[in-house]
Amino acid sequence: MNLLSIDPGLAVKGGTGWAMWTDDVLVAAGLATTRAYSLEVRLKEIEAIVKFECAGRFVHEVVIEQMQVYTLDKQKGDQNDLIDLSLLGGRLSALAETLTLVRPGTWKGQVPKSVLAKRARATLGPGELQAFKRGVTGVAKSAHHNVWDAVGIGLWRLGRSGR
């Protein structure tokens, strides 16, 4: 079974983290980014990148982080960005026959990104770590957390996260 886990992102310096799993093993991961200005073009370009990266693999299930509004004092950035991210999630959900949505608190709780990455790294086998490293080659270190989040979402879905 092929599972695609996605951490949606539209920021030019961030992007959409994705991870492909075959029979519960991480086989590929990466970051889909675009410099397009219009939302419509950004959505299409990110979808095309993720499709390209999954080429040749039928995706049985896609699991995507579902956007969530927090109280105003805890919300980072513009809450309207969540609408754009939800549009991206909807577009990417069409890449598989089955969709699973997961809220951030469900798959990661309140754990800081650095701790999540460390836990995910410790959970992956040597071949999986190589797949991750190949996927982030050329990606700014400051954006690796987006790919680690996609990996973390996949680990959660596969019951390998310990959460």
Q: Which sequence spans correspond to the domains of the chain?
A: 2-157
18, 50 contact by CB (below 8 A): yes
Query: Residues 60-114: pLDDT tens digits?
Result: 999 999 987 776 666 566 777 888 888 899 899 989 989 999 999 999 988 998 9
For residue 71, what pLDDT is reported? 66
How much is the average pLDDT of 37-53?
Answer: 91
Query: Residues 71-83: pLDDT tens digits?
Result: 666 656 677 788 8
User: How many whole angstroms separate alpha carbon 149 and alpha carbon 86?
Assistant: 17
Question: Options 3.30.70.920, 3.40.109.10, 3.90.1170.20, 3.30.420.10; which CATH number does 2-157 get?
Answer: 3.30.420.10
For residue 80, what pLDDT is reported? 77
How much is the average pLDDT of 1-20?
Answer: 90
